Each structure stands twice: as C-alpha cells, then as structure tokens.
Chain A
Amino acid sequence: MDNVKDRKILIVDDEPEIRAMVERFLRREGFYRIHTAGDCASALSLCRSVRPDMAILDVMLPDGDGFSLLSAIRQFSDMPVLFLTARGEDEDRLLGLGLGADDYMVKPFLPRELVLRLTAILKRVYSSPVEKRLVAFRLGDVLVDLDSAVVRGPRGEQALTAKEHALLAKLHQERNRIVTSDALCQAVWGDDSYGYENTLMVHIRRIREKIEPDPSNPVHLLTVRGLGYKLLVKETG
C-alpha cells in the first residue's frame, strides 16, 4: 500500500458525465480502485461497504448537500476529502465551516490540477511514518531538517531557534515563490505583527549564517527588495 495509486477513491457527483470524466483522468494517472456515486444515500452506503481511502465530493447533490454528507461520513471515518463546487460562494462556506475538508476546487478545473491536489493529499495523509518524519530538504551542501530543527553541512550540525525554524518552515512551504515580509512576520509573530521587520532581518541574517556558503552573497535565501524573501529549493525527483 505504499503507492498512492493503490488507494481506493470515491467520486460523488450528480452529473454522470463529470463522474465519468474524473474517473477517466484518475485511471489514466494509474488509479484503478475507483467507486462512484450520484447521491448522498448511495455514497454513504458505499463508504460503509468499500471503505474508500479518499473522497471527491460535489457540494450540490440531489438528496442533500456535500457538507451534510461529510458530517455523516465523519461519524465513522476520518478519510481525507476534496470538495468540488460549482458555486463561487461555496468557497466562503467551505472556509468558514471548518468541516475538516482537506482541499476544495471550484469548477471548472483542469484535470492536471485535480490529480495534483489529490495525490498531494494522499501523500500527506498516507505516507509511511518514516517518510513522514523526513520534512527535510537540501540547499547545496546543506541539509535542513525541519523535524529535528537542525542544519547539517560542512560547518557541522547547527541547531535552529524556534523563530528560525518557523521562518524556514514558512519559506519552504512557499518555496521558489516570493513570501512578503508581512506574511513571514505573521507566520512567526501572529496577527498584527506590524513593526517586526527589523527583527525579521536579524533572524534572516542568522539563518543565512547557517545555510549559506557566503552569508553576504546569498544564493538560497534571496532578498526581493521591498517585498520579502524567496527560498530557492531544487526539487529532487
């Protein structure tokens, strides 16, 4: 069961064509244990009988909405759920409800987006404990291990402080993208963190001293003047 493609997927949508299309995309990507349902009742009975590992739920169903279906499923299962919605205003409800949906997509969507998000959720939820612990990444000669909060490199092993760890975690989560200094401050000091910019610069300098070969000329943790910072990470495999 290490391969995510072996997972059982349940697709619930009242449009048979959408069901057929999503099923087709998933099969093309290598998923083969796919079940489909057109309404809440059959979806619930499928959940009980085949015990799927993940569900893709439409919000609008003929005998109820996806939100109440999820509440019913949550009575006996903790499987991850990705919502598909055809109404823009459902976005707000999804965010506001805190239903424990893992992700949502607004129709129309591109098949690639759907498969990417689905596999991301499956990997996150079902990856083996050994794999899961390894939230670590390589920056040149340096290995940043966020789980044990250390940096290993030519200069030996150096511990990360709590703030440095939080900053690196945020930068890594948004790797290869510009993260504004506001977003970084908020990630570390919480809401209304206005005025921490100078402190932020101090922490960034300390991080650079640990990860950069030459902290004065950074190549991994770059400054985007006036905006924020960007962590360049080469994706491996």
Chain B
Amino acid sequence: MDGMIRILRRYVAGAILLSILLLLFNFILLGTLVFKEFRRQPSPEGVVREVAERLTREGGRYALGDEAARLLRRHRAWAMLLGEDGGVKWGERLPDDVPRTYRLTDVAKFSRYYLAEYPVYIWEHADGLVIVGFPKNSYGKYQFNWAADWVRSAPWRLLVLLLLNAAVALLLSIIMGLRLVRSIRPLVTGVHKLAREEPVRLDTRGLLGDVAGSINTASAILQEKTAALKARDEARSNWIAGISHDIRTPLSMILGYASELEESPEIPEEHRRQAGIIRRQGEKLRSLVRDLNLVSMLEYDMQPLHLERVRLPSLARQAAADMLNGGPDERYAIELRLADEEALINGDKKLLLRAIGNLLQNSVNHNPEGCRIAIETFLSEDRTLCRLVVRDDGRGIPREQLAELTELPYSSKRKQPPRHGHGLGLPMVARIAKAHHGRLLLDSPDGGGLTAAMEFPAEGA
C-alpha cells in the first residue's frame, strides 16, 4: 500500500511540474513566435512620423526628402498633407478614390479607423495633418477600451486563472494517477505474494493483462518447485530416519551380545577384551545414528521445537553439572562466567542443552591432553542479543578450517574429512542455533584455543 501512495505522490508531483513547464514554455513561445510579427519595422507610426518630419516647405511648394519617399514606395503607401481648412495641400502617390477635401467628422472617423478602406496613420505637422495611407487590408486597426477597475483587478484575475489551472491540473493528475494505481495494484499485491511464496491468481484482462499472466505463471512454477523441493526434503529426511531405524535393531543385538560376552567369565580374557572393543565401537555407531537423525531433521526443518522461555545462565549451569556428573576428569577444568542472569531466550531446552553439550564435548575431543573450558553467557549492550560462549585454551583449529566445521561431513562445501568423532557435533550446534533464529560463530585466536559463540535474539524480559 505504501508503494501505491508513493506512486500516486510521484505522479501528481510530475503532473504539476509538467504543467508549470508547459506554461513557461508557452509564455516563451508567445513572446518569440506570436508577438514577433506583431509589429513590422518600422511601424506604420514610424513611417508617418518620418514622412511628417521630412516634409518641408520651400517657397510655396512642399517637398518630401528622398529617403522618406523611398520608405513610402517600399510600403506601397501614399501620403498627403491636410490643411486647417480640410483641403489637401500636398499629396504623394495619392490614389484616385481618396477624396480631396474633408470635413471635421471625416477626420474624426479616419483618425480612428480607415479612410476609403485604406488603413491610415496621422502625424501632426506645422501646416496641418500628415496622413499616410497603407494598401488596403495591409493593417488592422482595433480600438481597445478598458474600465479602470478592470485594469486594476487584472493581476488578481490572472492569479485566479493560474490557480484554477493548477487545480484542474492537480485534479486530472490525481484521477489519472488513481486509475493507473488501480490497474497496477493487483499486480503489485501479486508480486508481493510471490515474494512470500503464496499462490497468485490474477485477472488477466485489461491493459496489463500480459504482465498479470506472467505473474500467474511465475507463481505456478514457484509453487510447483516449492512443493517438489519439500517433497524431496521430506523423502530424504524420511529415508535417513528409516535407515537409522533399520540400523538400531541390529545394533541392539551387536551391543547386547558383545556386552554379554565382555562380562562372561567363561571365555578367555583376550576374547573378553575384543568383545569390549566391539561394544565400544557399537556405542560409537549408536551416537552417530542418534545425531544423524537429529541433524537431518534440523537440516530439513522437520524437527519440532518445544519453545519456552529459557534463561541461558541456567542452561549453562545445567550443562556444566551434566558434564561433571558424567564423571569428573582431572584433565578438564570447567569455569562459569555468567554475566547477565536475565539473559532470556525463547528456546527448546533439550535441544539447547544438547548444543552446549556438543560444544563441551568438542573441546574435550580436540584436547586429549586436557584444557580449561569456560562457559560464558551475556546480553549484548543493546540487550537485543544473548550470547553463550564456550571457550577453551587448548590447541585450537587453523583459521581456514573454521568455516567448514559447521558444514555436514562429506558435503561439497567441506574439504577436510572429520578428524575427531563423526563430525556431526558442530554442524548440529549450528543447525540448532539456526532453528532458534540465531547463529554459531567459531573463532580460534592466535594465542590458541577455540571460541564457540552461540548468538540468539533476546526474549523481552
């Protein structure tokens, strides 16, 4: 909807700008194209003035200067001097149909309009009135009369005119913009739905019908692909679940009988030791099968989460207690640094404990000669993120290998085969963090040791 308003706003602004530009353009055109020809040079008044000034009296005769006579010829105009008595005292190129005497009323008439259909112009002369006549139909003479009030209010009227124009332009642009928006809106909602992977069915009639058709097709393809992808993920996950189920029963038998042999007093010591090896390897397989299934469920977003408000420090204590309860080992010292007791997140307790347990186990596996392990929890400064960090001071891991540690073993993104255990531990932690909208950050500082930080969005306390 926001986008629609933006389109409309821009449309209206564009229309207003366009009309202003058009108005300016028209003013300029009016000046250059229309009024350029309004007056020819020299103007009729200029000609008559020139003639009046060049008409001189020498002796009893009048004479026109050569230049003024040429001017008259060029304009195909005639001229005459009317004396005080109304008689023509002098004439130049005077046509026959022009009377030779005038009364006062005649003068009043032609001074404003025409003399025998010739447009005429008048200039005062010492001996009377100089009259220049131009060819018939060469000039139009109009009389303008304005009421003084009207002239005074003209700027206001002009302003109102402009405002009305602006209002009409605005109205028209809004109407047109709305029409455009109305035809685009279903397309826009369609594209938005497409982005959310919802199915889209648009009306394909109208101006933008072909676009609507393309959006429909895109939606259909997307739906189809999503469904296929989901089906494939489900098939893979079910396949792994099925395989791990099928492994569990025979493995039960291997573990069962191996441990029976291991404890049997009737067979030689050497064979009991070998049975013990079978049992321990069986237990390794058991942990692999268990982790494989969980990782595959997490990978394909099929692991159900039992979400509740969880305090990270509480989890850290539980994980540390579990590790110590599992049989204390002199080689590993565990330390807790829990800064913010109220570091709350929305999470699945069991999965999170599993993740912390994996991180602790990872430190143990990597450092068979022992190390100090610290668990830290704290809130970020803006209190939007919670972090749980498992830090050891052991051997560490080369930086270039850190990135691929969270990839699944034997996937195309992982070059090195797992060196300790089955290699599912850290990928599982990364996936548990991701399922909680968080992430796992691994770092191995130069001083040695490994820092694994799980970061989660904080739950408002």
Could you tell me which A residues sit within 8 Å of B by CB distance?
15, 17-18, 21, 24-25, 28, 60, 86-89, 92, 106-112, 177-183, 192, 194, 224, 226-228
Given A86-B245, A107-B252, 8 extra CB contacts under 8 A: A18-B249, A18-B252, A108-B248, A108-B251, A110-B259, A177-B321, A182-B318, A226-B317
User: Hey, what's the 0/1 contact readout for B242-275 against A, CB within 8 Å counting as 1?
Assistant: 0011001101111111011000000000000000
Please tell me if the beta carbons of B255 and A110 are within 8 angstroms of each other in the complex: yes
**Which residues of B have CB within 8 Å of A28?**
260
Q: How far is the CB of B409 from chain A (nearest CB, A)?
A: 19
Of chain B, the residue at the smallest CB distance from A176 is B325
Q: How far is the CB of A220 from chain B (nearest CB, A)?
A: 17
**Which residues of B have CB within 8 Å of A183?**
318
Please tell me if the beta carbons of B251 and A180 are within 8 angstroms of each other in the complex: no
User: Hey, what's the 0/1 contact readout for B203-221 against A, CB within 8 Å counting as 1?
Assistant: 0000000000000000000
Q: How far is the CB of B419 from chain A (nearest CB, A)?
A: 25
Choose, from B88-96, B290-298, B398-406, the stretch at the interface.
B290-298
**Which residues of A have CB within 8 Å of B181?**
none
Please tell me if the beta carbons of B321 and A108 are within 8 angstroms of each other in the complex: no
Interface residue from B255, B294, B311, B314 paired with A88 (Cβ < 8 Å): B294
Please tell me if the beta carbons of A182 and B311 are within 8 angstroms of each other in the complex: yes
Could you tell me which B residues sit within 8 Å of A by CB distance?
241, 244-245, 248-249, 251-257, 259-260, 279, 282-283, 286, 290, 293-294, 297, 304, 306, 309, 311, 314, 317-318, 320-321, 324-325, 336, 338, 341-342
Interface residue from A25, A92, A108, A182 paired with B314 (Cβ < 8 Å): A182
Please tell me if the beta carbons of A194 and B245 are within 8 angstroms of each other in the complex: no
Q: How far is the CB of B234 from chain A (nearest CB, A)?
A: 13
Q: Describe A's contact surface by its main secondary structure.
A: mixed
Which 3 pairs from chain A and chain B are nearest by CB? Answer: A108-B252, A108-B251, A182-B314
**Which residues of A have CB within 8 Å of B290?**
88, 106
**Which residues of B have CB within 8 Å of A25?**
256, 260
Please tell me if the beta carbons of B241 and A87 are within 8 angstroms of each other in the complex: yes
**Which residues of B have CB within 8 Å of A182?**
311, 314, 317-318
**Given A180-B317, A182-B314, A89 and B297 contact (CB-CB distance below 8 Å):** yes
**Which residues of A have CB within 8 Å of B318?**
180, 182-183
Q: How far is the CB of A36 from chain B (nearest CB, A)?
A: 15
11 CB contacts below 8 A, A to B, read A18-B252, A18-B253, A21-B257, A86-B248, A89-B293, A107-B251, A108-B251, A110-B283, A177-B325, A178-B324, A180-B314
Among B253, B293, B304, B311, residue most surrounded by chain A Cβ atoms (within 10 Å): B253
Please measure, in the bound complex, the distance between the C-alpha atom of A62 and the C-alpha atom of B294, giving whole angstroms: 25
